[in-house]
Structure 1
Amino acid sequence: MAAFLLADGGSGPSGPRALTEDEANRLAITRFRNYQAGGRAVTITVPGTAGGLTVTGSVDYRGKVGYGVVHGTGRGTSSDGLIQWTATSVHVHPMANAPAHAPASPPGSGWYDRPLQASGSALDSSLAIALKLGSDRPDNAELLPQNGAAWQGRDRVDGHRVDVMTGPSSPDRSGTAGTVRYWIGSDGTMYRVRVGVASEPRPVVIAFDTQKYVPVQPVPGVTPAR
């Protein structure tokens, strides 16, 4: 993942500065909060030189699977359709007139399977990042500042007051120190994440609670890894 950070338009004092104990604790539990919730509704904005992609759907952080609908932005509809993914595989269902939201039950046929690409695809990198934003245990709050995590400023997301923090250097967090920004609420809830990917000059943005969470049902014939 290549570092790519933009100045934020939030109000209040700006960093970077060292995390306070409370901030480190909230950053340490933010992925665990997603796991505790079971799943979150997401909108994933994927950059692209020929036009971007938007994935609107849900991520099941206990089942380790995501599902949603893909729409092209500033490009044709050839990539539009339904998508379900795990850490190793992607299942796509092309649709000429993709709906705004994916149906709760995936269609029983018309799916094409492929491996999730570890590099070279902004879409696949975005899908992998989204899955890694949940963890079955908190991180070590004491180690986060030592590994490069920092406070960057304050902002508002959909009416929620949040602190903006850069994540630490850690393979499990999908980046090196400074490449990942988290918008985190007072209770550790994650509201937005932005991360640079090596294949694109612009960052991926993952927004949470953009619509109602719909539990993920597996594509017929596919058993998600648990």
Structure 2
Amino acid sequence: MRNLRSLTRRARWVIAAGVTACAAVATVLLVVSSNSDASAPRALTADEANRLAITRFRNYASGGRAVRITVPDTAGGLTVTASVDFRAKRAYGVLRGDGRNSSSDGPIRWTSTELSAASATVGWTNRPLQTAGSALDTALRIALGLGADRPDNAQLLPQNGASRIGQETVNGHQTDVMVGPGARDRPDTEGTVRYWIGADGTMYRVQVAVASEPQPVVIDFDTQPYVAPK
């Protein structure tokens, strides 16, 4: 009788352990499945295409937004904390660098054609904004271009390579991560721009591959209060 009770208790333990193991396996499979689904590229839904189509227009409609631009560089990274006026196409901020790049620290302002920097010794100096060869200039030009006075064509975005690649929380905002379309005359640009977009089409982060650097430029929004550039 004692042996029978012992066997019964052992059987219950084995069954309980088996149920627990199955539950654990199921949980692991669920997590893996969820993560795989979240990171797997897929075609945009109609709602996602519409949000991607209006995201730059929302920036323009807001007038301007605060940004933090992280720029890769072989001499040390650069960070620009700035306010961008998407209607006037101008911006003002502060440049900070690491390593040898710190020699250029200080206030900057820029338009689509010109970059100005201030120093304590000579005041403001101006130079043309380069169209190639400078990761900083490329990043500044990209930042100005993230506002548009009209929405994009939502039907054409998926046809030109736009897709959804996952979800991520950015500064407390739940976003869908979308790959932007490539330029029509540049097939190699497909997938070089990623957008982190909220449920209402608000842009919270942009990541752009630049030809002059192995690491991408990253632009985060609303990282500090917006102050309209003068």
Report TM bin, short chain: 0.7 to 0.9
Structure 2 match to 1:164: 177
* Candidates 86, 90, 102, aligned match of 1:77: 102
Q: CA deviation at 1:171?
A: 7.2
Indicate conservation of the 8 Å contact 2:135/2:210, yes or no.
yes
Q: CA deviation at 1:73?
A: 2.2
Bigger Rg over Cα: 2
Q: Distance in 2 between matches of 1:94 and 1:195?
A: 29
Q: CA RMSD in A?
A: 1.9
Indicate conservation of the 8 Å contact 1:81/1:95, yes or no.
no
Q: Distance in 1 between matches of 2:40 and 2:129?
A: 36
SS of the residue 2:100 aligns to: coil
Pair 1:148-2:161 in alignment: yes
- Larger mean CA deviation between 111-120 and 72-81 belongs to 72-81
Paired residues in the alignment total 194
Indicate conservation of the 8 Å contact 2:39/2:166, yes or no.
yes
Give 5+ residue unaligned stretches, structure 2.
1-33
Deviation readout 1:170-214 (Å, 9 max, x if unpaired): 379xx8210000000000000000001011000000000000000
Structure 2 match to 1:211: 224
Where in structure 2 are the equivalents of 1:29-178 lying within 5 Å?
Answer: 29-94=54-119, 110-170=123-183, 176-178=189-191
Pair 1:22-2:47 in alignment: yes
Q: CA deviation at 1:52?
A: 1.0
Q: CA deviation at 1:156?
A: 0.2
SS of the residue 2:168 aligns to: strand
Deviation readout 1:100-127 (Å, 9 max, x if unpaired): xxxxxxxxx8100000000000000000
Q: Distance in 2 between matches of 1:95 and 1:72?
A: 17
Q: CA deviation at 1:57?
A: 1.0
Deviation readout 1:34-61 (Å, 9 max, x if unpaired): 0010000000000001101100010000
Pair 1:189-2:214 in alignment: no
Relative to the length of structure 2, the TM-score reads 0.80
Residues 87, 14 of structure 1: alpha-carbon distance in 2 compared, 3 angstrom cutoff:
same
Q: CA deviation at 1:95?
A: 5.2
Relative to the length of structure 1, the TM-score reads 0.82
User: Quick one: which amino acid aligns to residue 191 of structure 1?
Assistant: Y
Indicate conservation of the 8 Å contact 1:80/1:95, yes or no.
no
SS of the residue 1:200 aligns to: coil
- Runs of 4+ aligned structure 1 residues displaced above 3 Å come to none
Q: Distance in 2 between matches of 1:29 and 1:139?
A: 6
State, as a whole percentage, how many aligned pairs show the same letter.
66
User: Quick one: which amino acid aligns to residue 40 of structure 1?
Assistant: R
Deviation readout 1:66-86 (Å, 9 max, x if unpaired): 110000024352110111111
SS of the residue 1:213 aligns to: coil
Indicate conservation of the 8 Å contact 2:77/2:101, yes or no.
no
Indicate conservation of the 8 Å contact 1:82/1:95, yes or no.
no
Q: CA deviation at 1:15?
A: 2.2
Q: Distance in 1 between matches of 2:150 and 2:120?
A: 38
Deviation readout 1:146-176 (Å, 9 max, x if unpaired): 000000000001111000000001379xx82
